[in-house]
Structure 1
Amino acid sequence: MLPKPSRANLEDGSSVKGKSVKAKNTSKASPVVIAVSIALAVAAIIVGGVGFAAYKFLVIDVQEKQLIKLTEQRSAIVAENLKIYIDSVYQQVDFFARKPSLASALASNDEEALEDIEAQILKQVNNVESAQAFPKGSAKLDAEAPFPIRFAELEQIRLAEERETVLPEFANINKQWLLSYAVAVPSVSDLPAHGTLLLRFNIDGVKRAIGEENVQFGRATLIQKIPGVQDRNVFVVGQGGEGRAEPAAVEGTYWHIIFEPSPLMRAQASVDATLIYIGIGALAAICFLTAVLLGRRIGLRMVAKAETQAVNVSLGLKPDAVAPSVPQDILDIEISDEDEALLGLEDEETATAGSASLADIPEQTEDIDDSLLPNVIFRAYDIRGLAKTEITKEIAQQIGQAVASEALDAGETTLIVARDARTHSPELTEYLIRGILSTGCDVVNIGTVPTPLLYFATETLDCGKSGIMVTASHNPAEYNGFKVVINGKCRAEEDIKAIRARILSKNLYEGAGEEKRHDIVPSYIDTIFSDVALAGDISIVIDAANGVTGKVAPQLFEELGCGVVPLFCDLDGTFPNHDPDPTIVKNLQPLIAKVRETNADLGVAFDGDGDRLVVVTPKGKIIWPDRLLMLFAKDIVSRNPGADVVFDVKSTRALNQCITDYGGRPILWKTGHSPMKGKMLETGALLGGEYSGHIFIKDRWFGFDDGMYAAARLIEIISLQGETLDEIIGEFPELISTTEVRVDVAEDKKFKLIESLIQNGDFGEAKLTTLDGLRADFKDGWGLVRGSNTSASITLRFEAENEEFLHFIKALFVRELRKVDNTIVVDWEQ
């Protein structure tokens, strides 16, 4: 056994068994010092972490909880104050509404007595700005009155007359907030109502009810939340910024208070942290003392170990052998079945077993009688025909099955369904939904709304991007049909034909879907309200042609702050006043007359389902949509240089130069909402439009055709420019032109006629475009003939630099058409 070397021998560098042992480098830090330093650092981290956690949980969190509690209390106090105030309003109004004299005056329509009572109310009731008494059923829209009667007030009056619950509503009238409240007269519920008392209050009483003592503790925001209407911030008082705002509902109203704490309230929520600081200090002392003792002990052990290793090395001893690790190939590792699935390593047979897609279901090839599914209704970009004969409830159910099967193949499990206001739309929708549900596809039914709201739903709802609209758009009342969207794209051309083919081949899924209902109108209005800002007051006449836009458009433009004059806005699927096609001049005459009568800033006519519009100026001039597109191009392209603008073959030649002048790229394309949207998607265009009234805006919007949104953007432009619409549109060139002229031609002949004209027509040196029908461009004008995709007709349109050349082109086209079909007769007086 070898003798153990002494510490002295090792330190003085003496040799052991002939080997030199060098003295340590004393310049390095002692292991004890290092260990103690590390221990102190760890202790500092522990103390810091524990101290921070203690401060957070015992000070910060407690303060925040206390602040939240105080804020909730203050918010509840403000809400209760407002409740007390509005109860006092109810009592004052009820005092007059119970008076037999007011009931008698309303029953007899005694105008003098009513005026006396209204004057008494103005004197005796605090904060009242106006008092109006209406005999039952006599209230009407009156936008010109000092205190106008709008849709909102009419609804309050109607509810009061029917003795339904009426809650006070704030409205921004003449740039000031007024509180409107209607009550039946007499107010005793078991007596018949002779009329209604409508009062308007200024906002002073509400502000006083909040109280100065509350305002010093934070900021109070009064919000009005009416179901189906965008939330409105009525006013804000005080200063906050010191914590989370807390809401409180005002009982018996549409109002909510949002209270945000001020620095004063945060000071009230402070916590005395002296004991916590003492505790953290004691913990720090204990930790640091423990760290010193533990670090010293570890350091001494490190010194002893180092000395032992030095001796072993000097004596030539080897450390214990360690078994070498054996490298293992990843391919040798056994993987469980579950892991194989996760890693994608299963074989092809295993991977495909039991996972057949919907597309793998075999097609059934049993034939259906073609006469029961007319080919003629499957058009270029929708399904459309005569209701009851061509578009039956049985066909609606089959279309539901086929479109749902198409959607399922595309990975969509839900279809959004909507309908217009035609008399047969409810029944067709019912059977359409039956067909959809029978495939296992779900339905979200958004009810009777314009087509743009179906498109909006496919863009914004989480349930999916596919849907069906039951509508015949601008066609007369006896027509109906379906517009189809799959994965955000409108079906067109062969995609529409594929729906019929699927029905005929019975390639339909089976299952049990579920139907849900959803009100999309508030979200639609709110989104436009958030996007469109008016810089001034605009008055607008809305001609809905008794179509479905009458349900949404007046409310939308009233919310935007416009003075609204409704024209044919009550829903009537028989269209008693005129057909819902705004591109026909005679259909625009009532709108022109109403705009002149009311001296409105503009008039807007929508088609039957709201995806098209035509505009009328204050002077009664019709702005056809291709010229309206010039105005939108100036606005959008000038802010987005190089942007593409797509327009159809029926549009004015001047549009091409206009787009170029503003730095855009003009793109001529086929007529039709589906091909236009497809081209916009392909090119990334920010704007598109057709002569027929479809306007597609991708700038700040979704790019689908929406007559109401286009009108909203137009009034924004008018309000910002500060000129009349006549002055604004007068800046753009206008050539002499015809409107769209329709000639009746049988469905099975119209496209053959156009094809024959293309093959055999003689148009001299004109440049011919056969993209959609036949367009012949001459130096001084152009003419177009094309087959309609929505009716049994061909359509013609002409434009020229002067009347003489316009007549020449018209005569040329009629001559060439009669060469193909000598029965053609053109009525130029449409």
Structure 2
Amino acid sequence: MSYTFDPTVLREYDIRGIIGETLSIDDAHAIGRGFGTLLAREGGKKVAIGYDGRVSSPMLEKGLIDGLTACGLDVVSVGMGPTPMLYYAEASMEDVQGGIQITGSHNPANYNGFKMVFMGRPFFGADIQKIGTMAAEGDWDEAAAPGTSSQVDILNEYVTRMLKGLDGLPADKLDGLRIGWDAGNGAAGPALELLTSRMPGEHHLLFTEVDGNFPNHHPDPTEEKNLADLKALVAEKNLDFGIAFDGDADRIGAIDGEGRVIWGDQLLSIYAEDLLKVVPGATIIADVKASRALFDSVKQHGGEPLMWKTGHSLIKSKMKETGSPLAGEMSGHVFFKHEYYGFDDALYAAIRLIAASIRLGKSVTQLRGEMPQMLNTPEMRFQVDESRKFAAIEEVKERLAKTDADVIGIDGVRVNTPDGWWLLRASNTQDVLVARAESETQDGLNRLMAQIDEQLKLSGLERGPQAGH
């Protein structure tokens, strides 16, 4: 029998759609059949699955389990929790060969989707398209006897593992910590409550009750407006700093004691400075949207900075290839292979921020205050027709190739100039172009933006209204 997915749901890094419109329990079943067939053909026997706090997640879990067990695979469900808890299950359970988290991440409440790990590597791009092809062709294996389904509670074990990140730090420094936390009603809530209850110091928690309708604010800490509650808490209680999470807790947001946002590349700069004391000369990976200040800082502290394509699956693959112990993205995905598993885990990243601050002997506010004062635009995203977005970037590349411009072309175009740099790239997940620029002066930033606008104009485009995520 053949099955057809809505063409919009099989995406570059995950599978994602709108419940009742483009994503249903039948889709979950078909995903289970495709993934299960591929895993069984590779000799896999068991899959760990988990889900976030969305209203539709339990329904999708049922469809997914039915699909996986039909292929003869055994399924172990770790229940509701953050995406990194599922990654932890997949990485730490000896007899598990694959993992699937049902999650809509930071998207609106009516969205849901799937993030997958296959034989210890990210499952994305061509892998996801293969699920669609197999469904259309009815290329699914049918087991003589269906697999089993069981449940296991690993929350306590997961939290214990994360707390190892504080081992060996002076007790008096840990006891003196005063931190604000915002779970945003996302899947981080229960893990955060358990984690902070077992940590020294004073902890003030917001919105840990899991609610897939996100009644307080949208769970995307990369948008500053979503940090308003955390800023108010840190100011009111005079806390050292604050940490926020996205809907499935694989992305971190942070503010210092003065309420200044610590952006993804600035967090990575702190982590890198700490790590390079222990692993001198290490390769540290960041995406093309990161500040030049980060790459300079990694060099200055004796590391090898490596700029790479945006996308959590692409970064994870590059880490495996280079043996890098640490990587990060502007979007708040941080990957610690050093003393951890290499997946993006915002709760663990919070632990490592505490540890870095203590080991470096500086408060988070001081670390943030010492960073170079660069002027950068936010990430500007504007709608471009799907059929034009990659073509337009190629046109820009071709035009710049005829000039003496200093271009980095690994993911769109990043152009270095005496004023700083500017970036234009096509989103892999939406019909948008992304632009960003950074300079040390406002005049420099204006000149960089003029270059972006000129290139867009030459391709018959303009920076239109901002598109959402």
Q: 2:120 aligns with which of 488, 498, 521?
A: 488
**1:520 and 2:154 are equivalent in the alignment:** yes
**1:695 and 2:334 are equivalent in the alignment:** yes
- Residue 658 and residue 723 in structure 1: after superposition, are their counterparts in 2 closer, same or farther (change >3 A)? closer
- Residue 821 and residue 420 in structure 1: after superposition, are their counterparts in 2 closer, same or farther (change >3 A)? farther
Give distance in 2, aligned partners of 1:821 and 1:475.
31
Q: Which amino acid aligns with 2:290?
A: S
Give distance in 2, aligned partners of 1:556 and 1:412.
33
Is the partner of 2:278 in helix, strand or coil? coil
User: How far is the alpha carbon of 1:588 from its aligned partner?
Assistant: 1.4
Give distance in 2, aligned partners of 1:380 and 1:703.
20
Give distance in 1, aligned partners of 2:392 and 2:230.
36
Unaligned runs of 5+ in 1: 1-365
Equivalent in the alignment of 1:803 = 442
User: How far is the alpha carbon of 1:582 from its aligned partner?
Assistant: 1.0
Q: Which amino acid aligns with 1:541?
A: G
**1:570 and 2:209 are equivalent in the alignment:** yes
User: How far is the alpha carbon of 1:469 from its aligned partner?
Assistant: 0.7
Q: 2:163 aligns with which of 504, 529, 551?
A: 529
Larger Rg: 1
Give distance in 2, aligned partners of 1:404 and 1:682.
26
Q: Which amino acid aligns with 1:484?
A: M
Identity score, percent? 37
User: How far is the alpha carbon of 1:749 from its aligned partner?
Assistant: 4.4
Equivalent in the alignment of 1:649 = 288
Q: Which amino acid aligns with 1:618?
A: G
Give distance in 2, aligned partners of 1:384 and 1:815.
34
Q: Which amino acid aligns with 2:181?
A: I
User: How far is the alpha carbon of 1:503 from its aligned partner?
Assistant: 1.4
Equivalent in the alignment of 1:783 = 422
Equivalent in the alignment of 1:635 = 274
Give the number of aligned pairs. Answer: 462
Equivalent in the alignment of 1:736 = 375
Equivalent in the alignment of 1:705 = 344
Give distance in 2, aligned partners of 1:747 and 1:734.
36
Please give the per-residue CA displacement for 1:33-60, whole angstroms capped at 9, x wherever unaligned: xxxxxxxxxxxxxxxxxxxxxxxxxxxx
**Cα contact 2:165–2:355 (8 A) shared by 1:** no
**Cα contact 1:762–1:816 (8 A) shared by 2:** no
Is the partner of 1:545 in helix, strand or coil? coil
Give distance in 1, aligned partners of 2:107 and 2:430.
8
**1:500 and 2:146 are equivalent in the alignment:** no
User: How far is the alpha carbon of 1:742 from its aligned partner?
Assistant: 1.8
Give distance in 1, aligned partners of 2:58 and 2:31.
15
Equivalent in the alignment of 2:71 = 439
User: How far is the alpha carbon of 1:732 from its aligned partner?
Assistant: 3.1
- Residue 434 and residue 829 in structure 1: after superposition, are their counterparts in 2 closer, same or farther (change >3 A)? closer
**Cα contact 1:765–1:778 (8 A) shared by 2:** no
Equivalent in the alignment of 1:405 = 37
User: How far is the alpha carbon of 1:483 from its aligned partner?
Assistant: 0.6
Structure 2 length-normalised TM: 0.93
Give distance in 2, aligned partners of 1:722 and 1:500.
52
- Residue 565 and residue 445 in structure 1: after superposition, are their counterparts in 2 closer, same or farther (change >3 A)? same
Give distance in 2, aligned partners of 1:641 and 1:721.
15
**Cα contact 2:52–2:81 (8 A) shared by 1:** yes
Equivalent in the alignment of 1:423 = 55
Please give the per-residue CA displacement for 1:142-173, whole angstroms capped at 9, x wherever unaligned: xxxxxxxxxxxxxxxxxxxxxxxxxxxxxxxx
Is the partner of 1:377 in helix, strand or coil? coil
Give distance in 1, aligned partners of 2:206 and 2:380.
26
- Residue 748 and residue 606 in structure 1: after superposition, are their counterparts in 2 closer, same or farther (change >3 A)? farther
Give distance in 2, aligned partners of 1:827 and 1:464.
42
Q: 2:184 aligns with which of 529, 545, 557?
A: 545
User: How far is the alpha carbon of 1:792 from its aligned partner?
Assistant: 3.8
**Cα contact 2:325–2:338 (8 A) shared by 1:** yes
- Residue 517 and residue 827 in structure 1: after superposition, are their counterparts in 2 closer, same or farther (change >3 A)? closer
User: How far is the alpha carbon of 1:762 from its aligned partner?
Assistant: 8.6
**Cα contact 1:763–1:812 (8 A) shared by 2:** no
* Bigger Cα displacement from structure 2, 451-460 vs 550-559: 550-559
Give distance in 1, aligned partners of 2:404 and 2:465.
24
**Cα contact 1:384–1:790 (8 A) shared by 2:** no
Q: 1:452 aligns with which of 84, 95, 106?
A: 84
- Residue 682 and residue 434 in structure 1: after superposition, are their counterparts in 2 closer, same or farther (change >3 A)? same
**Cα contact 1:618–1:726 (8 A) shared by 2:** yes
Report matched runs for 1:745-756 at 5 Å: 745-756=384-395
Give distance in 1, aligned partners of 2:147 and 2:396.
49
Unaligned runs of 5+ in 2: none
Q: 2:194 aligns with which of 545, 555, 558?
A: 555
> Which of structures 1 and 2 has the larger relative contact order (alpha carbons within 8 angstroms, sep 6+)?
2
- Residue 748 and residue 435 in structure 1: after superposition, are their counterparts in 2 closer, same or farther (change >3 A)? farther
Q: Which amino acid aligns with 2:419?
A: D
Superposed CA RMSD:
2.1
Q: Which amino acid aligns with 2:8?
A: V
**Cα contact 1:542–1:554 (8 A) shared by 2:** no
Please give the per-residue CA displacement for 1:181-224, whole angstroms capped at 9, x wherever unaligned: xxxxxxxxxxxxxxxxxxxxxxxxxxxxxxxxxxxxxxxxxxxx
Is the partner of 1:813 in helix, strand or coil? helix
Is the partner of 2:244 in helix, strand or coil? strand
Please give the per-residue CA displacement for 1:524-572, whole angstroms capped at 9, x wherever unaligned: 1111223323532212211111110012113212212232211122111
Q: 1:387 aligns with which of 3, 19, 43?
A: 19
- Residue 790 and residue 605 in structure 1: after superposition, are their counterparts in 2 closer, same or farther (change >3 A)? farther
Equivalent in the alignment of 2:101 = 469
User: How far is the alpha carbon of 1:468 from its aligned partner?
Assistant: 0.5
